[in-house]
Amino acid sequence: MNVTRRDLLGLAALGAGSLALSACQSGDKGAQTGNVTAQASLAPGDGYSKDDSGRSTTYQAKGHELLTGLGSFETICQPRAAQGRVEQLTYQTHSYVWEEANPGQEFLVSKVINVWLPADYDASRTYDVLYLMHGTGHEGAGYWLTDEEDCHGTQTRGLLDGMVEDGLIKDVIVACPSYYSFPVGEEPADVLAYHQADPHADDWPRLFWKELRESVIPLVESTYPTHTAGDVSDAGLAASRDHRAFAGLSRGSMTSVNSAMMHCLDLFGWIGSYSGIWADFDEFRGILEGQYAELPVRYWYNGNGSKDFSLQNHEEFRDNVLGQMGDRFADGQNYCWVSFPGGTHDYDCWALDLYNSLLAFF
């Protein structure tokens, strides 16, 4: 799958320039959001419905049905009166990709993490954390939360503010790092052209776990009041794994499996994979049934559009997981597969994924 993976994700970078975003519109804050309706709690039998294949087709969490209709996008992204804020953390880390490609050499890089704090943020409270990753060719740590070119901060912040205002999430912060770690002088002049033939395309998601464990999580959770209570040692982070989630889109989704699940499952209880997996299933299964055998995944959210080029890859991995790892993942219990009819490899689907994930997490 390596060649196909790189080729297809190259096409995604090409398509990013043609993205047409719908403007987020204001609406009645008391109205239903999209197709969210009151439902029973997530539970086998009454928490979801199945088609003839036995696969779940709708899911509920926190008394609401997970969104599947693209028409919900504009509604959930509308600006709200009470707005959170975005802060930026800086840190230094190794470029593990460059060091692997150049044995014996050390490459240190300076990077940033964008962190969203809710409007009612209070340093005396304790917060869960969602680590949220971008995809191929996107503007790194800024993609989800800032208003830089080709980023979607206005929409994402509206979505998060709305979920707080509607009482759907509480005491959650969102941290957005980047897996790109270009040493000084190696930054691509033409980002889009570079990513069409990035020789390290699959290495960024594969090796990000080192930076995630050693730099990203300790920095975020020593800066903000999280469930570590200030203890960001390996033991302290492991003890608070049920209050930490990782999710990402496209190659960020690849990161959710290749780094978060296969190397950091002792630190994460909740996972979100949006648009593709691109991982070796046998290796994945061996790790989860080996060193992480005693660590439950509280919930693994999976979302993809019916017209997304990554759909086949994602479906194949899903079928392997549900078919061969039924003791770890049960559809409708700690696993879900949400399909967006007509959805492509685009932000309107990923915004719905984010909304659904936060309904299901924590």
Residue 13: is its pLDDT beyond 60? Answer: no
Q: Judge whether 175 and 211 are in contact, CB under 8 Å.
A: no
Once rounded to an integer, what is the mean pLDDT over residues 245-268?
98
Q: Which residues pair with 245 in a beta bridge?
A: 130, 270
Q: What is the pLDDT of residues 30-89, one digit of tens each?
A: 333 333 222 222 333 334 455 555 566 689 998 999 999 999 999 999 999 999 999 999
Query: In which band, very low, low, confident or very high, does the pLDDT at 245 lie, cut at 50, 70 and 90?
Result: very high
Mean pLDDT, to the nearest integer, of 92-114? Answer: 97
| Local confidence band at 236 (pLDDT 50, 70, 90 cut-offs) | very high
Instruction: Grade residue 237 by pLDDT with cuts at 50, 70 and 90.
Output: very high
Q: What is the pLDDT of residue 52?
A: 53
- CA 274 – CA 262 distance, rounded (Å): 17
- Both tokens of 15, joined, read 């398509």
CA-nearest of 269, 268, 106, 244 to 181 is 106
Residue 215 has pLDDT above 50, yes or no: yes
The answer to whether residue 195 scores a pLDDT higher than 70 is: yes
Q: How much is the pLDDT for 115?
A: 98
d(CA 354, CA 272): 8
Are 36 and 309 in contact, with CB atoms under 8 Å apart? no
**Lowest-pLDDT choice from 13-22, 48-57, 185-194, 316-325:** 13-22
The per-residue pLDDT for range 160-184, each reduced to its tens digit, is: 999 999 999 999 999 999 999 999 9
Contact between 349 and 312 (Cβ < 8 Å): no
The pLDDT of residue 24 is 34
pLDDT of residue 50: 53
Three-state SS for the chain is CHHHHHHHHHHHHHHHCCCCCCCCCCCCCCCCCCCCCECCCCCCCCCEEECCCCCEEEEEECCEECCCCCCHHHHHCCCCCCCCEEEEEEEEEECHHHHHHCCCCCCEEEEEEEEEECCCCCCCCCEEEEEEECCCCCCHHHCCCCCCCCCCHHHHHHHHHHHHHCCCCCCEEEEECCCCCCCCCCCCCCHHHHHHCCCCCCHHHHHHHHHHHHHHHHHHHHHCCECCCCCCCHHHHHHCHHHEEEEEECHHHHHHHHHHHHHHCCCCCEEEEECCCCCCHHHHHHHHCCCCCCCCCCEEEEEEECCCCCHHHHHHHHHHHHHHCCCCCCECCCEEEEEECCCCCCHHHHHHHHHHHHHHCC
Dist. CA 177–CA 241, nearest whole Å: 18
Asked whether the predicted pLDDT for residue 281 surpasses 80, the reply is yes
CATH number for the domain running over 2-360? 3.40.50.1820
d(CA 229, CA 225): 7
Q: Are 251 and 9 contacting, i.e. CB atoms less than 8 angstroms apart?
A: yes
The per-residue pLDDT for 326 is 96
How many C-beta atoms lie closer than 10 Å to residue 17's C-beta?
9
- Mean local confidence (pLDDT), 274-297: 98
pLDDT tens digits, 128-149: 999 999 998 776 899 999 999 8
Mean pLDDT of the residues in the chain:
87
